[in-house]
Chain A
Amino acid sequence: MSSLRGKVAIVGAADTRVGVVADRTATELCIESILLALADAGIGKEEVDGLVTCNSMAQPMLYHAEAIAEYLNIAPRYCFAAGAGGGTTFSVLHHAASAIVTGMADVVVVAMADSLRSGLTRDQAMLMQSSTGHPQYEQPYGPTVPAYYALIAQAHMARFGTLPEHFAEIAVACRAHAARNPAAQMRELITVDDVLNSRMIADPLHLLDCSLVSDGGAAIILTSAERARHFQHPPVYVLGMGEGHGHEHISQAADLTTSAARESGQRAYAMAGLRPADMDFAQLYDCFTPTVLVELEDLGFCAKGEGGAFVSEAGIGPGGRLPVNTHGGLLSHCHPGNPGSMFALTESVWQLRHTAGERQVDNARCGLLHAQGGIMSSHSTLILGKELG
């Protein structure tokens, strides 16, 4: 069986403005991201024959990808909207890669956008997000989304002695990255004390342990590695991809402190033929700080239970042993919901093109990206490289 390793590459990448973008609807943000990505790739819309989107919460459409194609006035031969929550972005990459390798499409645009900040009220956003809970056996108890993740944090603390300070350091590191990113929503540096002194939302998670609520969109253009050589920017190759799926509802999790990120990562490393130590940076899903800590462990950057020590001692901020979320992540760059990891993807493209400006990781050749949806439920991992070798 042939592997997808190195068969496709990213040849265009772009973000819209993010944060509060009140002058654009979710649909318009999605369209805008596509126009910017086409310009980055240096191609016209007539070259696009595949389109992948995800639905919007602020402006939901039954046929989302089809509506986006219609708005652009294109008629793709490969077109779908995916829904895997936060994990959507990277899970669609291997579907699109398979389509390219099997000849179902040549040039696929992946575009995702939403306007959670301007398109929904706070109450609408809270209720919509908490509907991830089981409608009979969880939702009546009134768990909020931070509460679900707090259950994971508290279990990790009880089992491994992880401290609120460890979680806080993750927020501090993401903010330090964001301070170097002119596009980020939150750029003012914060300290561990700032995090610990921010309002408690769901113990042990403080306000600054929680990601942002944002508007924004991003798009990438994917094509075969062969075709990719003829675009204006150097290609960024997809070297490894993997998924892992456990529970949906947190009360059904086999283990609160180990997730299916472990299997997802192992599958991606196996495809790429690479190890955690080969990664120059990692973009790890950071809806809440404990998510990053568990992912660092499950993806093999440190042993189980040692995430807190890794964050404190090895460092994940600028200049740390493993820079994590070099754009600022969901915690400090932006978080428009399901499209959230698109910004980790576009950032990784720029890191591997060596055009990430002040936040450029020196000589970055290879990076790992991980996203998850539900409550540490569905996981997807990507490994990208500057070179095929």
Chain B
Amino acid sequence: MERIQPASGALADAYIAGCRVGELRLQRCGHCGIHQFYPRIMCGSCLSDDLEWAAASGRGEILSFTVVRRPISKAYEAPYVVALIKLEEGPTLMSHVVDCASEAVAVGLTVRVKFARWSESITLPVFTLDSQRGSSS
């Protein structure tokens, strides 16, 4: 059984292509300057279509998290940490926090992106605790 794969689409595919080369891609608006995630056909703030892909720093903070004890399907090995990560650039995304005991995860901790294989062709961003920097809260 395979984990849930992201639905395909032109914008999603460009994002996944970034992940494949180790880049967490956000859209940056050439008109108002904001970064946005998820990708859209226009800027969600000012509606401009002057958007370009920009590689994010990959650093962020845990806005919230949960430890899933009862997995969504057999393809997921519980426990796993589902978290909302607020990126340095502003947008928030859902991801996993990996490579640590679930007890070590807390709201406000800083994290750093890494990339994980989801299937033959799909790589997605996940995050690890940034132990050098510790808690920012």
Partners in one complex: yes
Chain A residues in contact with chain B, CB under 8 A? 123, 126-127, 130, 133-144, 146-147, 150-155, 158-159, 199-205, 250-252, 256
Decide yes or no: A152 and B64 within 8 Å by CB, A136-B7, A140-B3 being known contacts: yes
Residue from B15, B38, B68 whose CB has the most chain A CB atoms within 10 Å: B68
Decide yes or no: A147 and B66 within 8 Å by CB, A134-B38, A140-B124 being known contacts: yes
Are A154 and B6 closer than 8 Å at their CB atoms?
A: no
Are B69 and A201 closer than 8 Å at their CB atoms?
A: yes
Add 8 more A-B contacts to A144-B70, A202-B69 (CB < 8 A).
Answer: A126-B73, A134-B94, A136-B7, A143-B94, A144-B68, A151-B83, A158-B64, A256-B84
Please measure, in the bound complex, the distance between the C-alpha atom of A151 and the C-alpha atom of B3, giving whole angstroms.
21
- Chain A residues with Cβ below 8 Å from B96 are 141
- Chain B residues with Cβ below 8 Å from A123 are 73
- Chain A residues with Cβ below 8 Å from B106 are 158
Please measure, in the bound complex, the distance between the C-alpha atom of A158 and the C-alpha atom of B15, giving whole angstroms.
32
Residue from A134, A142, A143, A150 whose CB has the most chain B CB atoms within 10 Å: A142
Are B73 and A252 closer than 8 Å at their CB atoms?
A: no
For the A-B complex, the count of residue pairs with Cβ-Cβ distances under 8 Å equals 109
- Chain A residues with Cβ below 8 Å from B3 are 140, 142
A-B contact pairs, 25 of them (CB 8 A): A127-B72, A133-B94, A134-B38, A135-B6, A136-B9, A136-B12, A137-B38, A139-B6, A140-B4, A140-B122, A141-B82, A141-B124, A142-B76, A144-B72, A146-B70, A150-B66, A151-B82, A153-B66, A155-B107, A200-B67, A202-B68, A203-B69, A204-B66, A205-B66, A251-B93
Are B66 and A203 closer than 8 Å at their CB atoms?
A: yes
Residues of B37-59 whose CB lies within 8 A of A? 37-38
- Chain A residues with Cβ below 8 Å from B124 are 140-141
Are B6 and A140 closer than 8 Å at their CB atoms?
A: yes
A141: min CB distance to chain B, Å: 6
Are B68 and A147 closer than 8 Å at their CB atoms?
A: yes
Are B95 and A256 closer than 8 Å at their CB atoms?
A: no
Please measure, in the bound complex, the distance between the C-alpha atom of A205 and the C-alpha atom of B70, giving whole angstroms.
11
Are A139 and B92 closer than 8 Å at their CB atoms?
A: no
Decide yes or no: A136 and B82 within 8 Å by CB, A200-B69, A202-B70, A256-B64 being known contacts: no
Please measure, in the bound complex, the distance between the C-alpha atom of A147 and the C-alpha atom of B80, giving whole angstroms.
11
Residue from A143, A146, A152 whose CB has the most chain B CB atoms within 10 Å: A143
- Chain A residues with Cβ below 8 Å from B64 are 151-152, 154-155, 158, 256
Q: Is B17 an interface residue (CB 8 A)?
A: no
- Chain A residues with Cβ below 8 Å from B6 are 135-137, 139-140
Are A140 and B65 closer than 8 Å at their CB atoms?
A: no
- Chain A residues with Cβ below 8 Å from B4 are 139-140, 142
- Chain A residues with Cβ below 8 Å from B67 are 200, 202-203
Are A251 and B84 closer than 8 Å at their CB atoms?
A: yes
A327: min CB distance to chain B, Å: 27
Chain B: which residue is nearest A202 at the CB level?
B66
Decide yes or no: A251 and B118 within 8 Å by CB, A136-B9, A142-B73 being known contacts: no
- Chain B residues with Cβ below 8 Å from A202 are 66-70, 82
Taking a contact as CB atoms closer than 8 A, the residue among B5, B65, B68, B94 that contacts A251 in the complex is: B94
Residues of B78-137 whose CB lies within 8 A of A? 80, 82-84, 92-96, 102, 106-108, 118, 122, 124
B128: min CB distance to chain A, Å: 15
- Chain A residues with Cβ below 8 Å from B33 are none
Please measure, in the bound complex, the distance between the C-alpha atom of A251 and the C-alpha atom of B73, giving whole angstroms.
21
Please measure, in the bound complex, the distance between the C-alpha atom of A141 and the C-alpha atom of B72, giving whole angstroms.
9
Q: Is B34 an interface residue (CB 8 A)?
A: no
B101: min CB distance to chain A, Å: 13
Q: Is B30 an interface residue (CB 8 A)?
A: no
Please measure, in the bound complex, the distance between the C-alpha atom of A136 and the C-alpha atom of B15, giving whole angstroms.
10
Chain A: which residue is nearest B6 at the CB level?
A136
Chain B: which residue is nearest A144 at the CB level?
B72
Please measure, in the bound complex, the distance between the C-alpha atom of A204 and the C-alpha atom of B75, giving whole angstroms.
23
Taking a contact as CB atoms closer than 8 A, the residue among B38, B68, B69, B107 that contacts A158 in the complex is: B107
Please measure, in the bound complex, the distance between the C-alpha atom of A126 and the C-alpha atom of B74, giving whole angstroms.
12
Taking a contact as CB atoms closer than 8 A, the residue among B63, B69, B73, B94 that contacts A138 in the complex is: B94
Please measure, in the bound complex, the distance between the C-alpha atom of A79 and the C-alpha atom of B91, giving whole angstroms.
41
The 10 closest A-B CB pairs, nearest first, are: A150-B66, A158-B107, A155-B64, A135-B7, A142-B76, A203-B67, A142-B72, A136-B6, A151-B64, A251-B94
B123: min CB distance to chain A, Å: 11
Please measure, in the bound complex, the distance between the C-alpha atom of A204 and the C-alpha atom of B69, giving whole angstroms.
10
- Chain B residues with Cβ below 8 Å from A251 are 84, 92-94
Please measure, in the bound complex, the distance between the C-alpha atom of A252 and the C-alpha atom of B72, giving whole angstroms.
21
Please measure, in the bound complex, the distance between the C-alpha atom of A134 and the C-alpha atom of B3, giving whole angstroms.
15
Chain A: which residue is nearest B86 at the CB level?
A251
Chain A: which residue is nearest B70 at the CB level?
A201
Chain B: which residue is nearest A138 at the CB level?
B94
Residue from A137, A201, A250 whose CB has the most chain B CB atoms within 10 Å: A137
